[in-house]
Amino acid sequence: MHWKKIHAPARMNAVEYTEVGFLAVGNAGTLMASKDGWDWKRYKVGRDLEWDLFGVAYGGGWYFVAANEGVILASRNLRDWVELLRDEDMTGMVYGNGRLVVGSLWKLHVVEPERR
């Protein structure tokens, strides 16, 4: 078995594998991406220490991150981010079948990014 430790610039909170490769998110707006899991590129979401990130998804050409205060941000290029929705009771999210579904304590949000 071969393994490698990757040093991250912040506390990392979630990792997902998507059609574009591995995506990892953490505190202080840290987003890391890798096609193969060995070599990683770092991106910054927001300004300064604005966002701690707790979830990540990709689909339909969109990247999605779940940030503090229940904010979901979306980007097509990992540089320019827009607020997609806000729900302080958010519990998780997943992209599939052309939709982002966000779970909350007593509801689901269903977003079709292409229709925005």
Angle at 16 between CA 14 and CA 18, to 5 degrees: 155
- Reading the block at residue 12, the tokens are 């990392």
Tell me which DSSP letter residue 106 carries: S
Distance CA 115, CA 33 (A): 26
Q: In a structure prediction context, what are the per-residue pLDDT tens digits for the chain, which is 116 residues long?
A: 888 888 888 999 999 999 999 999 999 999 999 999 999 999 999 876 678 999 999 999 999 999 999 999 999 999 999 999 999 999 999 999 999 999 999 999 999 887 55
Query: In this structure, is the dihedral angle defined by the CA atoms of residues 84, 89, 95 and 96, taken in order, positive or negative?
Result: negative
- Reading the block at residue 43, the tokens are 């991106």
CB distance 113 to 74 below 8 Å: yes
Distance CA 7, CA 68 (A): 23
- Count of C-beta atoms within a 10 Å radius of residue 112: 11
Residue carrying structure tokens 């966000």: 102
